[in-house]
Amino acid sequence: MSIKISNLPPAAIANDADVVPIVQGGVTKKAAISLVRPTFGTGPTDVCAGNDFRLSNSRPPSGAAGGDLTNSYPSPELTTTGVAALTYGSSSEVGQFTVDDKGRITTAAIVAISPSAIGAVSTSQLAANIATFLSTPTSANLAAALTDEVGTGSVVFASGVTGSGDAVLATTPTVQNPTINGYVEGVTSVTVASNYTISIAASTVIIVQLTSNTPCTFTMPALQAGKSFALYLKQPLTGTPVSTATFTGAVWSGGSAPSLNNTFGRLDIFSFVSDGVKWYGNVSKNYAY
């Protein structure tokens, strides 16, 4: 009677003396059992149990280090690259380094800070007044720097700048074809008696309050072609109006000097222009002020 292996009853345990059936080439044969029983322990061929403390405690490495490390484990060190341990750079120097593809610094040098080292222009290559301004940035040095060069171009001030102070130009600058919006002329207000010398060095609008019953002689400014100014002549509010005013060296349309509007509280406006030879005058009268 043949019995299928799958129909055999299960064994409770296997021992070294037991045999088991196997099928080779369609023939059922027996095979002896050789059981492997591990030995638990700390030897080189022993097996450790799942709860062995060596599986959870620290196991420091040992042996010689390699690659970019030297000395031995557990305390290897980085191999040196020949770069000296220094502080690279100061107020007048910078550090210059070479880094390899591993991120290591392989060379290091100290380089003095100079325009050529950082790709800048030395102040010695600039005009003298510009170099002076860069080293000592005062208003006076800025004014000198802006007049130190000749050529074309613009000095551009940002729009919307607020603050106080002056942009100082040279005493007699030449400005070609500018567009000036919303400018204000300088104004001088004076009260005069019988004589007054007109100065337009600080202002080109002069408001003059006449003294009651005191004709005044006005000495004109020095002649210069292109100069002009306006003079507002105000009669007194009380007393006796002034009937005459003399402007030395001025010439008038028609050849005759105009008379004043001698009414209390009225204003005559004189305007003068010069061609460098004479002052040419004109007047608009009888404004209330």
Closest CA to 230 of 287, 281, 160: 281
Number of structural domains found in the chain: 2
All residues at 6 or more sequence positions from 256 whose CB lies less than 8 Å from its CB, including other chains? none
Q: Per the domain annotation, does 15 fall within a domain?
A: no
**Domain range for residue 209?**
187-288
CB of 144 closer than 8 Å to CB of 136: no
Q: Per the domain annotation, does 177 fall within a domain?
A: no
- Give the pLDDT confidence of 20-32 residue by residue, as tens digits: 888 888 888 888 8
- Give the pLDDT confidence of 42-68 residue by residue, as tens digits: 888 888 888 887 777 777 888 999 888
Q: CATH code at 228?
A: 2.60.120
The mean-pLDDT minimum among 93-97, 178-182, 206-210, 241-245 falls in 178-182
Q: Is the pTM of this model over 0.75?
A: no
How much is the pLDDT for 263? 93
Q: Per the domain annotation, does 222 fall within a domain?
A: yes
- Give the pLDDT confidence of 234-262 residue by residue, as tens digits: 999 999 999 999 999 999 999 999 999 98
Q: Per the domain annotation, does 258 fall within a domain?
A: yes
Asked if residue 283 and residue 216 are part of one domain, the reply reads yes
